[in-house]
Amino acid sequence: MNRDACEKLYNAYFMRVFSYTMTLTGDRHTAEEITQETFFRAFRRLDSFRGESDAATWLCAIARNLVTDEQRRHGRLGVFPEEATARDPGVEDVAVERDDSFRIHMALHAMEEPYREVFELRVFGELSFQQIGQIFARTENWARVTYHRARVKLKERMENHEQGM
């Protein structure tokens, strides 16, 4: 294992992988742990990385698998135990102040997979459709269509919420 290569990989992609795991888990501590484990596993397998995909896509795929494993350990896919979802008070205060943002996140939270994850990867993770397709082992076109459907679903949920008020 080349130490310089590992250090460059870590420095270049840490924030992207952390942001992705934070989006998936909603918990800073869990996201930090999974991000560290992601890089640990990537460093162990660095020699086997064929370069067929972008390094960020490869790392996010590892992180996604680790999140899924963590969720299975807790017995519920998509939901972490209550103590794992506690957030810093500063983050909650910001969400309360931004009512629109809060409603969007509530609508996203209720959205079924894979729509939620594809939307979050595109908007918050700033990944390309090609990268999203690679993470899901699907085509770029599948990622585009799924993202479009997620946007339509989110818009419908937001409109329904506004009409219900």
Range of the domain at 125: 89-165
Nearest C-alpha neighbor of 53 from the set 150, 140, 165, 161:
140
Tell whether 101 and 163 lie within a shared domain.
Answer: yes
Q: Tell me the C-alpha distance between 69 and 87, whole Å.
A: 22
Residue at which a domain ends, from 44, 60, 86: 86
DSSP code of 85?
S
Q: Tell me the C-alpha distance between 62 and 49, whole Å.
A: 12
CATH number of the domain encompassing residue 12? 1.10.1740.10
Tell whether 59 and 98 lie within a shared domain.
Answer: no
**pTM, whole model, 2 decimals?**
0.50
Q: Is 121 exposed, middle or buried (0-12, 13-18, 19+ CB in 10 A)?
A: buried
Tell whether 75 and 139 lie within a shared domain.
Answer: no
Q: Cα 69 vs. chain centroid, distance in angstroms?
A: 14
Residue-level pLDDT, tens digit, the chain, 165 residues: 567 777 888 888 888 888 888 888 878 888 889 999 998 888 888 767 766 667 888 888 888 889 888 888 876 555 444 444 444 444 444 444 445 566 676 777 788 888 888 888 888 777 888 889 988 999 989 998 998 898 888 888 777 766 654
Q: Tell me the C-alpha distance between 16 and 127, whole Å.
A: 9
Q: Tell me the C-alpha distance between 73 and 82, whole Å.
A: 14
Tell whether 101 and 129 lie within a shared domain.
Answer: yes
CATH number of the domain encompassing residue 94? 1.10.10.10
What total number of domains does the chain contain? 2
**Which structure tokens are listed for 113?**
């997979």
